[in-house]
Amino acid sequence: MLLEELLRCQIQEWYPAFRCHTVPTVILPLPAAFLRYLAGRPAYPDTGGEHPEGGDDDAEPLPFFLPAITSGRSAFPPAHAHHPDPVSLLDRDNSDLFFDSADDDDRDADNPLRPAFPELEAAVDSAIAELGGAALPKLNWSAPKDAAFMSADGTIRCTCFAEVAMLLRSSDCVAHDLACARPSCKDFAPPAGVRRNAATGADEGARPNAYKNTKDTTEEQTDQHKALETSSTGAPPNGGESSNDAGSMSDSKENAEKGGNRSAADSEADDAPQEDVGEESNWTWVDDGFQYYLALRKWYPGLRPESEFRCFVRQRRLIAMSQRDPSAYYPSLPGWSAEVQPKIEAFFEQVIEPQFASENYTFDVYVRADGRVKLIDFNPWGGYSLPLLFTWEELEQEEREEVEVRVVMQHGAVRPGLMTAVPYDMLDWGEGSGWDVFLKKADDELNKQMASLGADS
């Protein structure tokens, strides 16, 4: 995989050219301080303190804390809103002993390890409101699909900045984007002199009006908000989760100066004062000044996972398509795939191929109930992109005269265990495991609270 091919698949690079054919999206540049937070490093290093700028990269990451919320709104609904007190649903005083009261539900608010990003928080909350109140977050290439287990509903649907930060901080897919995506390219070379944006505003939060042209397109394309409407039939269980999550699983794209799609935010970053912070031998992604973005994509709760396909392009020819979710069998899909194949081929010839410059790549599409095709994402060829029901060896073997389509044809033919699951610690219930320790501590705390209730009665 070449760096040029990877960079060309970044969402902030391809979205302006394809905004009429994809999901409404707001793109925000991420400040260096927030990137350091995602890396588990001090967001605002104290040059004279314990964590100086450019400190030991091998140091243990900081404890997991959500950013401090500066807007005044609650980061998450109170716990007892979802878990009523089993002792007495009518006695809120007793309930607060178990779940804390709304007044002190943020006991770590003043912890010095909790950084605040007021400008970024305001920009994210504003963008989510603009997109209808819920959005799917992703960075330049990947969405935090593997962190869905952290959310209350098992999806990566976000309604506020705190939820976005929690998913990004918990995701290995996002960590890979930050630390490994560019170095995995065979022609990647660390910069000879690592440089960092020295502008104060870039560290504190997103620049005002940054990437405004992209935000404006969301308002201009009012019909985009109906772009992925589905039929009136109900979605299957977890249908919205599968399609929305899979829609931004992996992603990538290059500085398309050749295509003229370079953003104004990139130019501002280039013009900002720079300072040397390291040598090539000490290169880290945090220090090299590469601009990362947060893309917030409108959330559609009723999407059907069987309507999404991954398409493979080799030497600028569409050669294969695969069911995007290979972990399930959909009885209607074997027959329906023959119907949608010509529609996807026409979409490729009329929309994708004339505007996307790479020779080899993959792209994901969603086929609506009315037959219209919508672009979901681009991914580089090979590397960490999943070939799903194919293998990369098969796709690279021989010239193909016709497009080959593969779907799961029967029960038992699925391919489980791709790369999204839950941490092993969540499945290990043995003596001394994380769950074992947690449950013992929970029992101890419950016994203390019950003893306290008995003493007060």
Q: How does pLDDT run across 209-227, given as a tens digit for each residue?
A: 333 344 444 344 334 334 4
pLDDT of 70: 85
State the pTM of this model: 0.69
> In the structure encoding, which two tokens stand for residue 444, read together?
């101890």
Rounded to 10°, the helix 212-220/11-18 angle is: 40
- pLDDT score, position 260: 38
Confidence of residue 244 (pLDDT cuts 50, 70, 90): low
Q: Which of 342, 203, 228 is nearest to 286 (CA)?
A: 203
What letter does residue 331 receive in the DSSP assignment?
T
Q: Say how far apart CA 418 and CA 327 lie, in whole Å.
A: 8
Starting at the earlier edge strand, list the strands of the sheet with 373-380. 373-380, 361-367, 308-314, 317-323, 404-406
Measure CA 57 to chain center.
24
Q: Which residues pair with 35 in a beta bridge?
A: none
Say if residue 433's pLDDT is above 50: yes
What mean pLDDT do residues 302-318 have?
94
Average pLDDT over residues 56-73: 75
Residue scoring higher pLDDT (375 or 194): 375
Architecture of the CATH domain 302-415: 2-Layer Sandwich (3.30)
Report the C-alpha dihedral over residues 149, 150, 154, 157, rounded to 10 degrees.
-130
Are the C-beta atoms of residues 102 and 78 closer than 8 Å to each other? yes
Of 101-110, 178-187, 331-340, 420-429, the one with minimum mean pLDDT is 101-110
Q: Say what angle helices 161-170 and 118-130 make with each other, to 10 degrees.
A: 110
State the burial class of residue 221 (Cβ atoms within 10 Å of its Cβ: 0-12, 13-18, 19+).
middle
pLDDT at site 423: 62
The CB density around residue 383, as the number of other CB atoms within 10 Å, is 17
pLDDT in tens, 128-165: 999 999 999 999 999 999 999 888 888 999 999 999 99
Query: How do 25-29 and 193-197 pair as beta strands?
Result: unpaired
Query: Dihedral of CA 153/155/160/164: which sign?
Result: positive
Give the number of other CB atoms < 10 A from CB of residue 46: 11
At 155, list the tokens: 């999806």
Q: Judge whether 274 and 198 are in contact, CB under 8 Å.
A: yes
Q: Please report the pLDDT score of residue 154 as a whole number.
A: 86
**What's the mean pLDDT in 191-197?**
49
Contact yes or no for 43/31 (Cβ under 8 A): no
Q: Would you say 85 and 98 are in contact if contact means Cβ atoms under 8 Å apart?
A: yes
Going by C-alpha positions, the residue among 275, 278, 56, 37 that lies closest to residue 178 is 37
Residue 280: the pLDDT is 41
Over the chain, what is the mean pLDDT?
74
User: How far apart are alpha carbons 220 and 229 in whole angstroms?
Assistant: 19
Least confident of 41-55, 100-114, 160-174: 100-114
The reported pLDDT for the residue numbered 380 is 95
For 418, the 3-state DSSP assignment is: coil
What is the mean pLDDT of the segment spanning 301-321? Answer: 94
Q: How far is Cα 296 from Cα 12, in angstroms, rounded to an integer?
A: 11
At 15, is the secondary structure helix, strand, or coil? helix
Burial of 300 (0-12, 13-18, 19+ CB in 10 A): buried
The pLDDT of residue 350 is: 97
Q: DSSP labels for 68-102?
A: BP-SSS-SS--GGGTS--SS-SS-HHHHHHHH--G
pLDDT for the residue 107: 54
Tokens 């399930």 map to which residue? 328
- Other CB atoms within a 10 A radius of the CB of residue 48 amount to 6
Q: Are strands 404-406 and 317-323 parallel, antiparallel or unpaired?
A: parallel
Radius of gyration of the chain (CA): 24
Q: Name the more confident of 411 and 323.
A: 323
What's the average model confidence in pLDDT over 355-365?
97
The residue-averaged pLDDT of 117-138 equals 96
> In the predicted model, is pLDDT for residue 196 greater than 60?
no
167's tokens: 């998913």
Characterise 8 by phi-psi region: left (phi > 0), alpha (psi -120 to 50), beta (else). alpha
Apex 303 CA angle, 140 and 402, nearest 5 = 75
Return the pLDDT at 110. Answer: 61
Q: Of 127, 156, 125, 113, which Cα lies nearest the Cα of 218? A: 127
H or E stretch at 378: strand 373-380
Least confident of 72-76, 135-139, 164-168, 328-332: 72-76
Q: Which two tokens stand for residue 30?
A: 């991420």
Going by C-alpha positions, the residue among 401, 244, 266, 388 that lies closest to residue 327 is: 388
